[in-house]
Amino acid sequence: AQTVTQSQPEMSVQEAETVTLSCTYDTSESDYYLFWYKQPPSRQMILVIRQEAYKQQNATENRFSVNFQKAAKSFSLKISDSQLGDAAMYFCAYRGSGNTGKLIFGQGTTLQVKP
C-alpha cells in the first residue's frame, strides 16, 4: 500500500524568506501524481501545485516550486518570498495511476509566517 510521510509537524519562516517543506512517499507504481494542498484556518483545501511522475522537470507555480526526486521518493515544496497569507497547514498527497482518483495524504505540516 502507498504511504505518504511528512516528518515536519510544524515549520516557521520569516516573512519574505524561503522555506522548504518535506514529503516522502512509498509506492511500487511507476506512474503516479503528487500534489501539495494548502488548508488555511477556514479549512477549505486548495491545490497549490502538482507533479506528474513521468515528468523530470520540477513543477513551478509562481512562488511555489517542488523538488521531485523520483528515485528517492521525495517531493518537497519550496515557498519563496513567504507572505503572511501562506500561513496554513500544508498536505502532501499521492494519487496512483488507477482510475479511482483517490488521494493518499500525509499528516500535514503547519506553517507559521512571522512578520
Residues that bind other proteins (CB under 8 A): 4, 6, 33, 35, 37, 42-47, 50, 52, 91, 93, 95, 100-108
CA–CA separation, 56 and 53 (whole Å): 7
Q: Which of 20, 30, 37, 55 is nearest to 92 (CA)?
A: 37
Backbone angles phi, psi at 84, to 5 degrees: -60, -35
Q: Of the two residues 13 and 93, which places its CB atom closer to other proteins in the complex?
A: 93
Least separation in angstroms between residue 79's CB and other proteins is: 18
Q: Of the two residues 4 and 79, which places its CB atom closer to other proteins in the complex?
A: 4
Least separation in angstroms between residue 111's CB and other proteins is: 14
Q: Of the two residues 75 and 91, which places its CB atom closer to other proteins in the complex?
A: 91
Least separation in angstroms between residue 92's CB and other proteins is: 8
CB-CB contact of 85 with 104 (8 Å): no
Neighbours of 86 (CB within 10 A): 20
